[in-house]
Structure 1
Amino acid sequence: MDQLLQHLRSLGFTEMESKIMVHLSKEGASSGYEVSKRLGASRSNVYAVLQRLHARGILCCSDSEPAKYTMLPADEFTLIISNHVQESLGYVEQAMPKQKTSSPEFATLQGDRPIMEILAKEIATAEYEIIIDLCSEEASLFHDVLKDAEERGVRLLWSCDAGNGENNPFFGWHPFTDQETPSLFKGRTFSFIIDRKWSLLGSRGNETDTIGLVTEHPVMIRLLLGYFAQELIMYELEQDLGPEIQSRYGPHYEQIWNKYR
């Protein structure tokens, strides 16, 4: 009995409500006077509880004089409680204020070792795709970890400078003069996008410190994906229309770039 009363109280019923429901389930139809006498409770309190439970649809009340109350069958009673709980849970889920999420952060790393370590860790957890844009000097550094990823089914998409000294037409425009170029831009650039949700981009070599920027910011991911897509498009166009493009716009699209220098 005590355990039953405890479970009813955990469902939100008061101690008196729980005792009256259990009593009516056991004894059957009873008047308020009979309930108060058997439970040893004040008649006014018992009548107030009976009316409250009746209003909630948990008790049935006869039209006789005196009125007699009966408890719903257990399966009907528990169904009502279950529906109320589900309705409340649904409302709480929709109405509860959402916790503000912090904006994606940017982390700066310096030096080959920390960059290689975090990159190896992320590549090891890649699920379906790694997009790589780097120079041949850096490609060898990541050969082993990328090979492992490919062997477990991760798709690798490359944009790699062959190291023959030729400029990619897409990089034809240099917005800084030699005197204005920040140290960040003096090295060879590289970037990785893993599963289209994590990215690392940076520069290395040419007597500058290796530096990298790590972020999951969706805007940066979108920019890098767009940059990579443009390189693919430019490559395809050059393969199909190379001489025609050079004839019309000059080597490395100089006639276009010069408009915006």
Structure 2
Amino acid sequence: MPVQRLVGHLRELGFSPYEARCYAGLLGAGAQTGYAVAKLTGVPQPKVYETLRRLVARGAAERLPGSPTRFTAVDPKVLLDRLASDHAASIAGARAAAAEVDGSLA
């Protein structure tokens, strides 16, 4: 199932299980309230709002103005391009640090 594959890949990229499920739910359903996301994804309602705030903080979702508060997924191309860039920078840093450690052992 495509949603399960997306959730699995997001988990590999460092998303928590709830974050991955909420992002996939928002992506498939469009703008939703926290309550609707909880119903759609099976994420417990007490956890869904905290999870949505984390998705907003990491740039994976946006909080829409108005009442009730609704959330929407950031375009997957934008999100995945940013994640690729972040991971490339982390890998480059790790390579440089490994070279320093490896050089100091010689």
Match of 1:92 among 87, 91, 94: 94
Q: Report whether the alignment pairs 1:7 with 2:9.
A: yes
More strand by share: 1
Corresponding residue for residue 62 of structure 2? 60
Corresponding residue for residue 43 of structure 1? 45
Count of aligned residue pairs for this structure pair: 101
Which residues of structure 2 form unaligned runs of 5+? none
RMSD over aligned Cα atoms: 1.4
**Alpha-carbon shift at residue 5 of structure 1 (Å):** 1.7
- Paired AA for residue 39 in structure 2: K
Question: For 1:1-261, what aligned pairs fall within 5 Å after superposition?
Answer: 1-96=3-98, 97-99=100-102, 100-101=105-106
- Paired AA for residue 32 in structure 2: S
The C-alpha deviation readout for 1:112-163, integer Å capped at 9, x for no partner, is xxxxxxxxxxxxxxxxxxxxxxxxxxxxxxxxxxxxxxxxxxxxxxxxxxxx
More helix by share: 2
Which residues of structure 1 form unaligned runs of 5+? 102-261
The C-alpha deviation readout for 1:196-238, integer Å capped at 9, x for no partner, is xxxxxxxxxxxxxxxxxxxxxxxxxxxxxxxxxxxxxxxxxxx
**Alpha-carbon shift at residue 51 of structure 1 (Å):** 0.2
For residues 49 and 2 of structure 1, do their structure 2 counterparts lie closer, same or farther at Cα, with a shift above 3 Å needed? same
Aligned equivalents of 1:59, 1:77: Cα separation in 2: 9
**TM-score by structure 1 length?**
0.37
Moved over 4 A (4+): none
Corresponding residue for residue 107 of structure 1? none
- Paired AA for residue 93 in structure 1: R
Aligned equivalents of 2:33, 2:53: Cα separation in 1: 12
**TM-score by structure 2 length?**
0.85
Secondary structure of the residue that 1:98 maps to in structure 2? helix
The C-alpha deviation readout for 1:24-45, integer Å capped at 9, x for no partner, is 0110000111111222332221
